[in-house]
């Protein structure tokens, strides 16, 4: 591996790695193909690349998906490897798993891998994904695709060149509640009317935004200095807190904002034409990335202009935490991964059709009317709007949030589904996010052209 | 009734009452400790029900009627509730390094002491240790100004003291020593 990712050259990597990856393809036919040939087990052989906090989240979902065999785990931390050992104890499909510090070592030694699930820090996403795709593996990689737009582009190129599947972990794209909202309510029944405004946020409390680790770290989690340096980390603080460093991550707007802004672009069916952003280190003075960012996106959609506001704040959890709101002339939908903070509001007025039939047909459930607010003295009655009726989705789902997206990936690996968020679609959705920090840093709006947004 | 009969009655009835009192207190304290320990392993499990029907047909997006039920599992273990843990961490007098250990030990300690009290193993020492445990909880609640909880634990302390006073009338014990 390149010891200094900031000096990593996409073109250089592609030229040097193609040879070894090609050899891997010849020597190690994917297990699915072998299984088909022999008629034996059709388990998908999986490598877990990165077993930190997010790797654990994904593993807890993967454990629920039948037909997987955990063949190898790659992580630079012995503590992470031990966590996998402990969490997979007693799992027949993880017995005999091999452990690696280096992904190249793993890819050269492991025969018959079918897929890799990548949950490494953002600046490693692109190199790891490209290596795995070129070694003949299908890849599920966590979002954000990369800390640089060129890194994200390399992932799309590798996916298209190798013909392998590459799903990006925008897990809301496979969430039944989001799919239902998008397919049935917004596109099918068009309950919002014309969507004119969108807003979204991720407000995270100060407590949850503190640096990980303290002055004195437990011995068990310490990664030796030479290993840290080999994998692009200056020290343990950078290793544990890579999200706050500019060379390693896109900061909160990328780390948290990517989820909501992806939904803006997915639901609106297009990408913004302009971004204006502002941000600052208003609390965490020494962090390289802004600790709060507010931005506006302008869209041209087939329905008309849409303005979207997004904020990511790391000093407060106020205001329902995280969600996306789509505000239309006839209704507004506030949706979140947390079902209890989601709701659908029907506007009052003669221009809005009755929704009784939608309730009867099973599209919506009406919630009890909230208590009427006391009339405020001095308010001009003519300016007040009637409170909208409140509805909710007719159901939910019981699985962990990331599981449907992983299920979709493995169904696609088996040829039973198409990916809900392949690298190209993810790139189209993520590309505008790469321009938020530059806009905030320059205090200037950025007109987003094909140069900014295309692969 | 003769005087002899009266004496007999007055001599035996109080003794039986003491035995019953000791037994009831023992059972109460044991049940309280064991079930509190067991609850530390409780969590909420969501289960997918039937697919939601739209226009009489199951939706293809995967929306279901979700049933929520209480479930017990080792993975659910939480010694100190998360909300209290956050408050404790903000307290200057709290020994921060000891909190994770306390969190890990609280549930097992309640289970072990509850069982030893129930079975009558080192009954008096078990009661004493349970009292110390309740004092530690009381101290934490005083720090975060939860007076109701302090009063609630105070009644537990009175019951433990009562059980210790009645310990000489304890019966059906596996190990009477200590």
Q: Is A258 helix (H, G, I), strand (E, B) or coil?
A: helix
> Given a cut of 60, is residue A39 above it in pLDDT?
no
- Which residue from A179, A395, A404 is facing B52, i.e. has the nearest CB? A395
Query: B156 pLDDT exceeds 50?
Result: yes
- Identify all chain B residues contacting A404, using CB atoms and an 8 Å cutoff: 62
Q: How confident is the model at residue B84 (pLDDT cuts 50, 70, 90)?
A: confident
**pLDDT tens digits for A81-101?**
999 999 999 999 999 999 999
Which residue among A120, A144, A164 closes a domain?
Answer: A164
How far is residue A53 from each of residues A73, A119, A120, A220, A343, measured CA to CA in Å? 14, 9, 10, 16, 30
Q: Is residue B130 included in any domain, yes or no?
A: yes
Query: pLDDT class for A38, splitting at 50, 70, 90?
Result: very low
What pLDDT score does A380 carry? 57
Residues A155 and A201 occupy one common structural domain: no
What pLDDT, on the 0 to 100 scale, is given for residue B14? 61
User: What mean pLDDT do residues A152-157 have?
Assistant: 98
Its domain, for residue B154, covers: 3-41+77-169
Tens of pLDDT, residues A124-148: 999 999 999 999 999 999 999 999 9
**Where is average pLDDT lowest: A103-112, A205-214, A280-289?**
A205-214
Q: For residue A140, tell me if it sits in a domain.
A: yes
User: Which residue of B62, B74, B86 to mutate against A (max A Cβ within 10 Å)?
Assistant: B62
Query: Do A50 and A137 fall within a single domain?
Result: yes
Mean pLDDT value across residues A349-356: 92
Domain membership flag for residue A420: no
Pair A249, A385 in one domain: yes
Which of these three, A114, A143, A164, is where a domain ends?
A: A164
Task: Quote the percentage of chain B above a pLDDT of 70.
Answer: 92
Number of compact structural domains in chain A? 2
Average pLDDT of span A106-113: 98
| DSSP code string of A299-326 | EEETTEEEEEEEEEESS--TTTSEEEEE
CB spacing of A396 vs B64 below 8 angstroms: yes
Candidate from B47, B48, B61 with C-beta closest to A183 = B61
The mean predicted confidence, pLDDT, of chain A is 90
Residue in B with minimal Cα distance to A216: B97
Among left, alpha and beta (phi > 0; psi -120 to 50; other), residue A79 is alpha
Nearest to A176 among B54, B61, B86 (CB): B61
State the DSSP code for A269.
Answer: T
Name the pLDDT band for B100 (thresholds 50, 70, 90).
confident
Same domain, B150 and B165: yes
Is residue A26 over pLDDT 60?
A: no
**Residue B92 shares a structural domain with residue B148:** yes
Which of A13-27, A97-111, A279-293 comes out lowest in average pLDDT? Answer: A13-27
DSSP string covering chain B:
--HHHHHHHHHHHHHHHHHHHHHHHHHHHHHHHHHHHHHTTEEEEEEEEEEPEETTEE-SS--EEEEEEEEE-GGG--SS-HHHHHHHHT-TTS-TTHHHHHHHHHHHHHHHHHHHHHHTBSHHHHHHHHHHHHHHHHHHHHHTT-HHHHHHHHHHHHHHHHHHHGGGG--S-SB---
Rounded distance between C-alpha atoms, residue B106 and residue B137, angstroms: 10
Q: Is residue B127 part of a domain?
A: yes
Same-domain status, A183 and A82:
no
In the numeric block, which tokens belong to residue A88? 């997979």
Residues of A with CB below 8 A from B67's CB?
398
pLDDT at B167: 87
Mean pLDDT (whole number) for A159-163: 98
Whether residues A148 and A235 share a domain: the answer is no
If asked whether residues B54 and B28 sit together in one domain, one would say no
Testing the interface with B: which of A397, A401, A403, A406 to mutate, by most B Cβ within 10 A?
Answer: A397
Instruction: Give the model's confidence band at B75: pLDDT under 50 very low, under 70 low, under 90 confident, else very high.
Output: confident
- Percent of chain A predicted with pLDDT > 90: 84
- Does residue A16 lie within any of the structural domains? yes
Under 8 Å CB-to-CB from A61, ≥6 apart: which residues?
A399, A400, A402, A403, A406
B19 belongs to a structural domain: yes
Is A135 within 8 Å of A162 (Cβ atoms)?
A: no
Chain A residues inside the 8 Å CB shell of B86 = 207
Considering the domain boundaries, does residue A214 fall inside one? Answer: yes
Number of domains in chain B: 2
Q: Which domain-ending residue is among A123, A138, A164?
A: A164
- Residues A256, A180 within the same domain: yes
Report how far apart, in Å, the C-alpha atoms of B122 and of each of B27, B36, B116, B164 are.
15, 21, 7, 12
Q: What's the pLDDT score for residue A144?
A: 97
On the question of pLDDT at A2 being above 60, the answer is no
Residue B118, domain member (yes or no): yes
pTM of the model: 0.79
- Alpha helix positions (H), A39-121: 53-62, 78-87, 103-109
B48 touches chain A (CB under 8 A): yes
pLDDT of B7:
46
Model pLDDT, residue B177: 79
Structure tokens belonging to residue A240: 């544990």
Q: A110-124, A210-224, A382-396: which has the minimum mean pLDDT?
A: A382-396
A59: containing domain: 5-164
A418 inside domain: no
Contact state of A180 with B64 under an 8 Å Cβ cutoff: no
Would you call A359 helix, strand, or coil by DSSP? Answer: helix
| Contact assignment for B46 to A393 by CB distance below 8 Å | no
- Contact B64/A397, CB-based, under 8 Å? yes
Indicate yes or no: CB of B66 within 8 angstroms of CB of A395.
Answer: yes
Count Cβ–Cβ pairs < 8 Å, chain A vs chain B: 50
Q: What is the pLDDT of residues A387-432, one digit of tens each?
A: 789 999 999 999 999 999 999 999 999 999 999 999 999 999 999 9
What band does B10 get if pLDDT is binned at 50, 70 and 90?
low
User: Cβ A398–B46 below 8 Å, yes or no?
Assistant: yes
Note whether A138 and A234 are same-domain residues. no
Domain of A229, CATH number, reads 3.30.360.10
pLDDT at A216: 83
B10/A137: higher pLDDT: A137
Interface probe with B: pick from A172, A182, A398, A404, most Cβ of B within 10 Å: A398
Give the pLDDT of residue A34: 44
Domain annotation covers residue B14: yes
Span A317-329, pLDDT tens digits = 999 999 999 999 9
User: Is A76 a member of any domain?
Assistant: yes
A379 has pLDDT over 70: no
* CA distances, B11 to each of A353, B21, B32, B166, B169 (Å): 85, 16, 33, 17, 15
Asked if residue A343 and residue A196 are part of one domain, the reply reads yes
For residues B48 and B132, membership in a common domain is answered with no
Same domain, A42 and A129: yes
Q: Which tokens sit at A181?
A: 């909202």
Helix or strand run (H / E) with residue A265? helix A257-268
Residue A421 lies in a domain: no
> Does the beta carbon of B55 lie under 8 angstroms from any beta carbon of chain A?
yes
Q: Where does the pLDDT of residue A6 fall: very low under 50, low under 70, confident under 90, or very high at 90 and above? A: very low
Beta-carbon separation of B63 and A395 below 8 A: yes
In a domain? residue A415: no
Q: Which of chain A's residues have a Cβ under 8 Å away from the Cβ of B55?
A: 361-362
Q: Is residue B113 in a domain?
A: yes
| B73 contact A CB<8A | no
Q: B145 and B92 in one domain?
A: yes
Give the angle B126-B127-B131 at the CA atoms, nearest 5°. 115
Q: Are A150 and A236 found together in one domain?
A: no
Q: Select the residue from B46, B47, B61, B96 to test the A interface by mutation, using most A Cβ atoms within 10 A.
A: B61
Check if the beta carbon of residue A256 is closer than 8 Å to that of residue A170. no
Taking the alpha carbons of A177, A182, A187, A190 in that order, is the dihedral positive or negative?
positive
Residue B177 belongs to a domain: no
Contacts of A176 in chain B (CB under 8 A): 61-64
In this structure, the answer to whether residues A194 and A125 fall within a common structural domain is no
pLDDT of residue A346: 96
pLDDT at A443 over 80: yes
Q: Helix (H, G, I), strand (E, B), or coil: what is residue A73?
A: strand
Mean pLDDT confidence for A303-322: 96
pLDDT on residue B23: 93
**In chain A, which residues have their Cβ closer than 8 Å to the Cβ of B65?**
395
Shortest Cα distance, chain A CAs vs residue B126, angstroms: 33
Q: Which among A117, A121, A101 is positioned nearest to A109, based on CA atoms? A: A101
What is the arithmetic mean of pLDDT over A342-368?
94
pLDDT at A442 over 80: yes
Which residue among A363, A394, A398 places its CB closest to the CB of B48? A398
CATH number at A16 reads: 3.40.50.720
Cα A205 to Cα A203: distance, rounded to the nearest angstrom = 7
Same domain, A145 and A189: no
CA distance A323 to B4: 83
Q: Among positive and negative, which fits the CA dihedral A286, A288, A292, A294? A: positive
Asked whether residue B101 falls in the same domain as residue B65, the answer is no
Tokens standing for B57? 């047909």
User: Can you give the pLDDT at residue A16?
Assistant: 37
| Closest-CA residue of chain A to B87 | A207
Cα–Cα dist A161/A149, whole Å: 18
Our CA-based measurement puts residue A176 at a distance from the nearest CA of chain B, in whole angstroms, of 5
CA distance B33 to chain A (A): 30
Q: Is B95 contained in some domain?
A: yes
Average pLDDT of the residues in A39-60: 90
pLDDT band at A184 (very low <50, low <70, confident <90, very high): very high
- Are B35 and B112 within one domain? yes
């Amino acid at each position: 591996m390149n010891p200094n990712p900031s000096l990593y050259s996409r073109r250089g990597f592609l030229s040097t790695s193609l040879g070894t990856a090609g050899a891997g393809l010849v020597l190690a036919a994917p297990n699915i193909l072998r299984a088909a040939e022999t008629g034996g087990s059709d388990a998908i052989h999986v490598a877990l690349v990165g077993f930190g906090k997010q790797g654990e989240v994904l593993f807890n979902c993967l454990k629920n998906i039948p037909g997987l065999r955990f063949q190898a785990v790659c992580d630079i931390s012995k503590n992470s490897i031990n966590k996998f050992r402990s969490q997979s104890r007693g799992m027949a499909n993880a017995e005999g798993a091999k452990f690696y510090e280096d992904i190249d070592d793993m890819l050269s030694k492991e025969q018959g891998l079918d897929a890799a699930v990548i949950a490494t820090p953002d600046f490693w996403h692109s190199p790891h994904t490209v290596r795995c795709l070129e070694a003949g593996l299908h890849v599920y990689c966590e979002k954000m695709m990369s800390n640089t737009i060129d890194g994200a582009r390399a992932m799309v190129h590798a996916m298209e060149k190798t013909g392998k599947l590459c799903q990006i972990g925008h897990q809301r794209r496979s969430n039944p509640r989001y799919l239902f909202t998008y397919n049935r309510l917004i596109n099918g029944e068009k309950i919002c009317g014309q969507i004119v405004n969108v807003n979204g946020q991720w407000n995270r409390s100060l407590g949850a935004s503190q640096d990980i680790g303290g002055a004195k770290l437990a011995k068990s989690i310490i990664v030796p200095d030479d290993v840290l340096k080999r994998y692009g980390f200056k020290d343990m603080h950078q290793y544990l807190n890579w999200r706050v460093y500019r060379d390693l991550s896109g900061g909160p707007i990328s780390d948290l904002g990517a989820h909501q802004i992806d939904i803006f672009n997915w639901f609106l069916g297009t990408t913004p034409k302009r971004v204006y952003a502002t941000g600052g280190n208003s609390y965490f003075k020494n962090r390289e990335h802004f600790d709060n960012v507010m931005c506006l996106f302008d869209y041209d959609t087939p329905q008309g202009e849409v303005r979207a506001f997004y904020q990511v704040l790391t000093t407060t959890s106020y205001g329902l935490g995280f969600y996306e709101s789509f505000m239309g002339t006839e209704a507004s939908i506030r949706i979140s991964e947390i079902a209890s903070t989601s709701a659908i509001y029907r506007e009052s007025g003669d221009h809005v059709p009755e929704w009784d039939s939608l309730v009867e047909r099973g599209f919506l459930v009406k919630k009890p009317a909230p208590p009427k607010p006391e009339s405020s003295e001095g308010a001009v009655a003519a300016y007040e709007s009637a409170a909208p009726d409140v509805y909710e989705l007719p159901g939910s789902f019981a699985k962990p949030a990331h599981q449907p997206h992983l299920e979709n990936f493995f169904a696609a690996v088996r040829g039973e589904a198409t990916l809900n968020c392949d690298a190209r679609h993810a790139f189209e959705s993520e590309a505008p996010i790469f321009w938020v920090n530059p806009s905030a840093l320059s205090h200037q709006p950025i007109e987003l052209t094909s140069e900014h947004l295309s692969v | 009734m003769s005087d002899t009969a009266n004496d007999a009655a007055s001599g035996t009835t109080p003794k039986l009452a003491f035995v019953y009192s000791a037994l009831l207190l023992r059972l109460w304290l044991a049940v309280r400790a064991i079930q509190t320990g067991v609850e530390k392993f409780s969590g909420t499990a969501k289960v997918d029900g039937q697919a939601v029907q739209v226009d009489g047909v199951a939706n293809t997006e995967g929306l279901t009627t979700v049933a929520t039920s209480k479930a017990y599992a080792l993975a659910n273990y939480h010694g100190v509730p998360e909300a209290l843990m956050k408050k404790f961490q903000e307290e200057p007098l709290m020994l921060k390094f000891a909190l994770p250990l306390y969190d890990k030990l609280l549930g097992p300690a309640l289970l072990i002491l509850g069982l030893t009290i129930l079975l009558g193993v080192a009954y008096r020492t078990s009661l004493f240790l349970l009292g110390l445990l309740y004092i530690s909880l009381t101290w934490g609640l005083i720090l975060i100004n939860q007076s109701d909880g302090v009063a609630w634990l105070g009644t537990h302390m009175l019951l433990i003291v009562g059980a210790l006073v009645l310990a000489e009338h304890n019966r059906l014990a596996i190990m009477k020593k200590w």
